[in-house]
Structure 1
Amino acid sequence: MGKKKDKDVDAEDHGKVQRSSKLCGTNYPVSIAFIVVNEFCERFSYYGMKAVLTLYFIHYLHWDKNLSTAVYHAFSSLCYFTPVLGALIADSWLGKFKTVIYLSIVYVIGHVVKSVGAIPDVGDSTVHVVLSMLGLVLIAFGTGGIKPCVAAFGGDQFDEEHTEERRKFFSIFYMSINAGSVLSTIVTPILRGDVKCFGGDCYALAFGVPAALMVIALVVFIAGNGLYKKSPPEGNVLVCVCKCIGFAIRNRWTNSKKRPKRSHWLDWAEEKYPKRLIQEIQMVFRVLVLYIPLPMFWALFDQQVKGYIQLISFCNLVGVCFCVVKMLNALLILVFIPIFDMGIYPLIRLCRIKLTPLRKMAAGMILAALAFCAATVVEINVIKSVVEPPPAKESLVQVYNLMDSEVTVQFPGQTVLSDPLKSYEDPSGYTSLPLTGESQLYTVTVTHNGAEYQCGLTFTEQTAYSLFLHTAQPDFISKGLLFCLRIFYFCRFINTHTKNINITVGTDEFYAAANYGISQNISVPRGEYNGVVCETNSDQYHIDLGLLDFGAFYTVILSKESNGLTFKKMEDIQANDIHIAWQVPQYVFITAGEVMFSITGLEFSYSQAPASMKSVLQAGWLMTVAFGNVIVLIVAEGAGMEQWTEFLLFAGLLVAVSIIFSIMAYFYTYVDPDQLDKIFREDTDDEKVGSSDSKKNEAVSLNDMPKQTKM
């Protein structure tokens, strides 16, 4: 059982009741358990809804991909801009506890509206769109508004002397975020796809379950009410801050020549505003200036994750591994946080290395840069086995020789030789054809056994073709865009028989028309395909295709011989030979960097903020993520360079940002906001008793406060 110690209510503490119920034998308040569970449920709610949001736009509202992506990113950005509003409400008027309660109610209403909008029988398509957008706006204000308050409120639960426990709390808090993310990303897509309602995918349930989790989060948070330590709001902080800054600027501009210089430009407000407010504004400004380069980290971090997901499509993996790798970042966070807190950080301290918060953040940037370097190595090896799609004003063509001897194929400016003995296993390779416009007519000359054949063929830009040559006449078959063929397992059949052939592969049925008719392209799971059924009007045959591997594209040529139906299997595009495990190192680096950078940033934003502005500074930290997303939308999407070059550029940018941040951090001096409160409290006491030797005439400045090692 935890021990309880009651402290008297003090006027100086604004009626705040400090409760010290502790978790068994530790300095951790029992109240943080309610906060951590609340955060887990809230993050489950948020990420669970986002997991199916794009699919909802495309398949339910029938929006195109570009509009769906734009709305998705706009919603994500709004979620990181609204924390400023929640922080101002908490620190200025309602306090953190009431702000979380009221905005959580808005959050729940948003989820309910979103779920109702996903019920087919509710109004027409316009009603669905209106309800969906209204629900997303309410969710954005709810999740963004409570985001800085919950983290800061958790930090408030610790006594001043328990700084190490408070630091570890932010790690536990971050773990709860990622645990909720992992679980919801698994559960909600299952609810959408595997559960059917209203005659289709159950989006109403997929959005309804996150709504229920948000209700649970609200109930859990309220349940801890009797245990929380609550800091009262300080009044309209934003207005006071703006007025103080404005007065300092005007006073300096008008009286700078008449009065002696001040150590800081904000000190020009001393004639009208209390020293405490001036010092608190200075503290916040110094931290916000330090955050100026940080949005670039989040922009590059976001691009890193996108690049990894694209890279997964070119790796060799089986079944559920694809989903596991996409969640690897969140899973590794759950593993790395205790490893860093209980292993790596203590070991570094044993080596007598001073690992300050800003040094951790700089080290996190370097680790993220190493992740980009690892991704570059993987990408370079991947592109060796990938046929790149042709660029604009170009087309690709390869030749398959189905005849009995060598042929020569001449395109204008290009000559291709094709040996029939190797054509099935090793086609000619792709030849690039320059085009003068979107499409162009080429005269192709085929030489076989001394005879020449000519035919006119039209090629379209950014398209790859296969030219099949056989004894009847040259034939031309479009192969389609290559970049559409890398993610799935594809196979097609060409029928040289005089009768149509119905083909069954697994559960797929299709046919290839007679006389070199080509079947549709089909995608099938990776595996051995023995006993594929081929039926004509009167006969049935079985063929063994063997392994159809991940990422490959196969062409199977069927022909009728005296002994039955024979086939030739060709691999147009090679299977992916880069194993998915090669992506693990880059995920390890990026996750380690995130643990050192993001968790430390949360704790640093709390520890360096005055009591009246803790939520505001938490919002300032979250704003770096928001501006990072804006950078991605405006700049990074239009880079237009090769993936490996982009990775290498990002690695260099991260190193440059880390150097800039390190220089700024070197000149930053840590302050103790609790010590600032103590000094001002002593000043107030001295003024009350009229002590002649009090500090009431001393100017309290950041330079007078206890300082820690720089950087």
Structure 2
Amino acid sequence: MSSTTSTVATANRGRMPRQIPYIIGNEGCERFSFYGMRNILVQFLITGLLLQHITAGSERELAAKDLMHEFMIGVYFFPLLGGYLADRFFGKYNTIFWFSLIYCAGHACLAIFEESRTGFFTGLGLIALGAGGIKPLVASFVGDQFDKSNEKLAKVVFDAFYWIINFGSLFASLLMPLFLKNYGASVAFGIPGLLMFVATFVLWLGRKKYVMVPPARTRDPHSFANVIRTALNTPREGEGAPGRALAVAGVAVAVGMLLGWALSALGLATWWPKDFGFVITFCLALVVLVAGVGGGAWLQLDRARGVHPDAAIAGVRSVLRLLVIFALVTPFHSLFDQKASTWVIQGNAMAKPEWFVASQMQALNPALVMILIPFNNLVLYPALRRFGLEPTALRRMTAGIAFSGLAWIVVGLIQLQMDGGTPMSIVWQVLPYALLTFGEVLVSATGLEFAYSQAPLSMKGVVMSFWNLTTTIGNLWVLLSNAAVRNDTVTGQIAQTGFSETAFLMFFFAGFALVAALAFGWYARRYPVVDNYRPAD
């Protein structure tokens, strides 16, 4: 640790770090910029010129959903890159700052190229890269400002961090749809770009006050990857190598998927599903790869003993256990992110005042978050403790996934009424938004701090990247459902249920979340919670 970092850490001992307001201010502006553009993206794609070549309204809506969820996959995939660069080369602050400049350039492209597919989609790509690159780092950068002497304050700040995210999102969700409707796309996408510039400037202002945890520039012989490699490659006399076989199978299947897509794209193969484009194929390959290598390493992890210290092996085991938690959270994100697509499309067909835009309903989410976080901390959790029920992080996350499923049952019942010809006011969406938001507070606000606390000290950035990857995989499930309803066999089976495709998928996702909640709760009872905060100086 540098002398500057040590001095700052000593001054902060047992107290709230003075540099936190700069990070919180940066996050508030950045979240306004992100949600400001994301929450109008589907509406713009449906009504703008970029997709006007798709004449059927339902097909244009489906294409808009695909583009939005593909964008979200990029946003939550690039944290892997940002986390790696920060941990290995540049440190968190430098990585956040330079990716923020890429982010600003992306916003500029959206504002300038509203009628150019190439320019606009380039802007989306730059925002996905910039937003994704900084996403795992800001939260872990907050955690770096604390040590064991004031870690209890960190839990308060993580809640405040999530609160300010939603403060920015609230005003973005209320205002940007109106700016899009009344002033056009250039203004509606330009304002979030301006806020992103302000966010970058605020971050820069605090540069001399931050605790800077240096990156691990030297190669660690006992790193996560090296322990995994040793575990998979070390033979044991008289035993087979089931873990290595599983890992090799995972790699082979992942490569086969990518090869199948490539051959299909060139017209040289017909066995790969034609609706599985590169994004779906790549994400499926990533899931298979992580499952194969991670599962294989788990089976043979003891073979790394004697080559690596017990602490390194325990750290790898901790990360692998954490990845199972992350996998079980992915269904929640498949439900949550569709409030910006499926729920907006449903809202477009509902009765509402002429001045109101369906995408403005998303403002309910951050408004309720800002109420629910203090309510939970000051009222709900103390009340549960008085009744002898400790609301641990894993219990909260289990309940949150279940509440998201309940929200989708309600929105599905609304859709059934609409499909039957009953006019429905958009006010009916308030109830599912309330249930989904309560689930979000229990999952996302809790999971952010939980992921940081469980990550080994040398892997904070990368583990937070994997936490963000849960959203990528959640959006993958949405893309797969969209591809399914383009298949005549699947749509025929749905028609036999008597439900519309929209209603059927709503109930499908509700069931998906409820099953995931049961699995999460079962696994959580067996998960050994650890505390990996930085020691006090």
1:35 to 23, 29, 50: 23
Equivalent residues of 2:481, 2:505 under 8 A apart = no
Counterparts of 2:220 and 2:320, CA distance in 1: 13
Contact (CA 8 Å) 1:88, 1:238: kept in 2 or not?
A: no
Q: 1:610 aligns with which of 450, 456, 473?
A: 456
Give deviations 1:553-605, integer Å, cap 9, x for gaps.
Answer: xxxxxxxxxxxxxxxxxxxxxxx2x4444332222211111110111111110
**Aligned equivalents of 1:581 and 1:187: distance in 2?**
19
* Offset from partner CA, 1:381-439 (integer Å, 9 cap, x none): 444544xxxxxxxxxxxxxxxxxxxxxxxxxxxxxxxxxxxxxxxxxxxxxxxxxxxxx
Instruction: State how 1:498-537 maps to structure 2 within 5 Å.
Output: none
Counterpart mapping for 1:32-71 below 5 A:
32-54=20-42, 59-61=48-50, 63-64=53-54, 65=60, 68-71=64-67
Deviation at 1:359, TM superposition (A): 0.6
Q: Aligned runs of 1:623-642 on 2, under 5 Å? A: 623-635=469-481, 638=484, 640=491, 641=494, 642=499
- Verify: 1:664 aligned to 2:510, yes or no: no
1:59 partner letter: G
Letter in 1 for 2:324: V
- Is residue 2:366 matched to residue 1:330? yes
1:209 aligns with 2:191: yes
- Relative distance call for 1:616 and 1:367 in structure 2 (3 A) is same
Q: Distance in 2 between matches of 1:59 and 1:606?
A: 41
Conservation of the 8 A alpha-carbon contact between 2:95 and 2:134 = yes
In structure 2, do the counterparts of structure 1 residues 667 and 188 end up closer, same or farther at CA, with 3 Å as the change threshold? same
Q: Structure 2 residue aligned with 1:251, among 229, 234, 237? A: 234
> How far apart, in 2, do the equivalents of 1:27 and 1:344 lie?
26
Answering whether residue 167 of structure 2 is matched by residue 171 of structure 1, we say no
Shift, 1:152, TM fit: 0.7
Q: Shift of residue 270 of structure 1?
A: 3.6
CA-to-aligned-CA distance 1:252-303 (integer Å, 9 cap, x gap): 446869xxxx998334224333444333222211101222222122223344
Deviation, 1:625, is: 0.7
Give the one of 59, 79, 82 matched to 1:83: 79
- Cα deviation for residue 16 of structure 1 reads 4.3
Q: Aligned partners of 1:651, 1:130: CA distance in 2, in Å?
A: 36
Tell me the residue number matched to 1:282.
317
Moved more, 27-36 or 142-151: 27-36
| In 2, Cα distance between equivalents of 1:308 and 1:70 | 14
Q: Which residue of 2 aligns with 1:300?
A: 335
For residue 510 of structure 2, the aligned residue among 637, 643, 651 is 651
Q: Which has the higher contact order (CA 8 A, sep 6+)?
A: 2
Question: Do the aligned partners of residues 580 and 131 (structure 1) sit closer, same or farther apart at CA in structure 2, a change above 3 Å counting?
Answer: closer
Q: How far 1:243 moved relative to its partner? A: 2.7
1:582 aligns with 2:428: yes
- Which one-letter code corresponds to 1:139 in the other structure? I
Which amino acid letter does the alignment assign opposite residue 329 of structure 1?
A: N
TM-score (ref. length: structure 1): 0.59
Q: Answer yes or no: is the 8 Å Cα contact 2:69–2:478 preserved in 1.
A: no
**Larger Cα Rg: Structure 1 or Structure 2?**
1
How many residues end up aligned between the 2 structures? 458
Shift in Å at residue 325 of structure 1? 3.1
CA separation in 2, counterparts of 1:374 and 1:147? 31
Q: What is the CA-CA distance between 1:17 and the residue it aligns to?
A: 4.1
Structure-2 residue corresponding to 1:371: 407
Amino acid of the structure 1 residue aligned with 2:27: E
Describe the shift of the 1:582–1:147 C-alpha distance in structure 2 as closer, same or farther (beyond 3 A).
same
Instruction: Name the CA distance, whole Å, in 2 between partners of 1:278 and 1:15.
Output: 29
Identity %: 31
What is the distance in 1 between the residues matched to 2:508 and 2:44? 35
Counterpart in 2 of 1:620? Answer: 466
Deviations 1:527-573 (A, max 9, x none): xxxxxxxxxxxxxxxxxxxxxxxxxxxxxxxxxxxxxxxxxxxxxxx
**Cα distance in structure 2, aligned partners of 1:154 and 1:654:** 30
Match of 2:131 among 143, 150, 153: 143
Q: State the alpha-carbon separation in 1 of the partners of residues 191 and 437 from structure 2.
A: 29
The equivalent of 1:187 in structure 2 is 175
**Given residue 84 of structure 2, which amino acid in structure 1 is its aligned partner?**
L
- Equivalent pair of 2:8/2:209 in contact (CA under 8 Å): no
Report whether the alignment pairs 1:231 with 2:231.
no
1:330 CA displacement: 2.5
Q: Which residue of 1 aligns with 2:384?
A: 348
AA at the equivalent of 1:623: L
Aligned equivalents of 2:220 and 2:70: distance in 1? 26
The answer on whether the counterparts of 1:44 and 1:184 sit within 8 Å (CA) in structure 2 is: yes
The one-letter code of the counterpart of 2:80 is V
Shift of 1:190: 4.0
Displacement of 1:146: 0.1
CA distance in 1, matches of 2:307, 2:196: 45
User: Which is richer in strand?
Assistant: 1
Distance 1:56 1:367 in 2: 30
Aligned residue in 2 for 1:406: none
SS where residue 529 of structure 2 aligns?
Answer: coil
* 8 Å CA contact 1:16, 1:231 repeated in 2: no
Question: Gaps spanning 5+ residues in structure 1: where?
Answer: 1-8, 119-124, 196-200, 387-575, 682-711
> Quick one: distance in 2 between partners of 1:227 and 1:72?
37
**Pair 661,193 (structure 1): closer, same or farther in 2 beyond 3 Å:** closer
**Contact (CA 8 Å) 1:20, 1:29: kept in 2 or not?**
no
CA change 1:193–1:19 in 2 (3 A) is: same
Is residue 170–residue 365 contact of structure 2 (8 Å, CA) maintained in 1? no
Shift of 1:76: 2.1
> Given the two structures, how large is their TM-score scaled by the length of structure 2?
0.76
RMSD, matched Cα: 3.2
The structure with more helix, counted as a fraction of residues: 2
Most deviating of 14-23 and 304-313:
14-23
SS in 2 for 1:45: helix
1:158-203 CA distances to partner (integer Å, 9 max, x unpaired)? 23143332222222222222222222233334444434xxxxx4x3
Q: Secondary structure at the match of 1:292?
A: helix
Decide whether aligned partners of structure 1 residues 51 and 582 sit closer, same or farther in structure 2, where only a CA change above 3 A counts: closer
Gapped regions of structure 2 (runs ≥ 5) = 55-59, 241-296, 486-490
1:591 aligned residue: 437
When residues 55 and 28 of structure 1 are mapped into structure 2, their CA distance, relative to the original with a 3 A threshold, is: same
Give the CA deviation at 1:627.
Answer: 0.6
* Partner of residue 570, structure 1: none
* Partner SS for 1:158: coil
Letter in 1 for 2:143: G
Note the alpha carbon deviations across 1:349-371, whole angstroms, 9 max, x for none. Answer: 22221211111000112222222
Match of 2:91 among 91, 95, 99: 95
- Cα distance in 2 for partners of 1:343, 1:361 equals 18
Alpha carbons 2:177, 2:357 under 8 Å: kept: no
The answer to whether the Cα contact below 8 Å between 2:234 and 2:303 also exists between their aligned partners in 1 is yes
Cα distance per residue 1:587-637 (max 9 Å; x no partner) = 221111111011111111001011211111111111111011111111256
Tell me if the contact between 1:365 and 1:593 (Cα under 8 Å) persists in the aligned partners: yes
Superposed displacement of residue 153, structure 1: 0.5
SS in 1 for 2:211: coil
Residues 232/602 of structure 1: CA separation in 2 closer, same or farther (3 Å cut): same
Q: Report the 3-state secondary structure (helix = DSSP H, G, I; strand = E; otherwise coil) of the residue aligned with 1:221.
A: helix
2:396 is aligned, of 332, 357, 360, to 360
